[in-house]
Structure formats: C-alpha cells, structure tokens
Amino acid sequence: MQPQGTLGVVELRIPSKAEWVAVARLAVAAVANRLNFSIEDIEDVKLAVAEACTNCIQHAEGSGQIQITCETGPEGLTVRVCDFGSGTRPEGIRSRRADEPTVGGLGVFLIRSLMDSVEYDVQDRGTNLVMTKKVAH
C-alpha cells in the first residue's frame, strides 16, 4: 500500500561497489524525469544520489548492498538511500553545520546543497538517508 499522496514507488538494490553507482544514478534520473523537474534539477538529484551511494561504500563497512527507494508525489521526489553496514558515526553527521564542509564531509555538504531537505536516521546496523527535491511550480 502506497502512502497517501504518493504517485509511485521505485526500489532498487545495488551491490555496495563503486561500479554500480552509475546504475543508481540512471534509475533515479529516469524516475525524476517522470516529474516536472528541470534538467538542472534532475542533474542535482543524480549527483546527490551518487554522493550518498559513495558515502555508503566508503563508510558502511561490510554492508554488501545499498537500497535506493524513490517515492514520487505531487510536490516532488523523495529518495531514500540505505546501507546496512556498521561504519557510520552518527555524531559526525549530526554535528556538522550545513554551510561548513569538512575534510571527508564534502559529500554530505554537497548533498545538503543540492536537495531541498536531507535527514539521516542512523541505526546500530546502517544509515537511512532521506533526501527530498521539490518540483518548482
């Protein structure tokens, strides 16, 4: 059952390896293209997803796979990127200011600058990154 207001949900699981990031970018671009996004907004979403996947590969040791979920709605696109590893330090993510990139934290800074909202849900066994891009009306 889809959440109310959701037009469609697309789920993808890729191996937690750099050579699969392009597949995630292409899939998310295809979903974003179904909405009323500009080409620039689609490129922003693709780059944010690539950075999120790269962070999963670099920091989620032993995860094996990355799950990407795209939810489309009348207001825009929500993308969830989840890993199942144990390499993420929640205090590092939560303590960063959005306007101050740090060494090793440039990906998070870039994601925050490209998307309209970014939230992290850090669990004992993985991280769930939720990014939203709104359609300009």
Which CATH number goes with the domain that contains 87?
A: 3.30.565.10
Token pair 């590893």 is found at: 85
- On whether residue 76 sits in a domain, the answer given is yes
| Stronger pLDDT, 114 or 58, i.e. the higher one | 114
**Residue 96 confidence (pLDDT):** 46
- On whether residue 1 sits in a domain, the answer given is no
Over residues 108-137, the pLDDT tens digits come to 889 999 999 999 887 777 889 999 999 987
- The answer to whether the CB of 86 falls within 8 A of the CB of 60 is yes
- On whether residue 2 sits in a domain, the answer given is no
Rounded CA-CA distance 21/58 in Å is 12
Rounded CA-CA distance 109/100 in Å is 7
As for how many domains the chain has, the answer is 1
* 97 contact partners, CB below 8 Å, separation of at least 6: none
Q: Average of pLDDT values for 43-54?
A: 96
Share of the chain above pLDDT 90, in %: 60
Q: Is the pLDDT of residue 46 over 70?
A: yes
The CA distances from residue 71 to 32, 89, 97, 101, in Å, are 10, 27, 27, 28
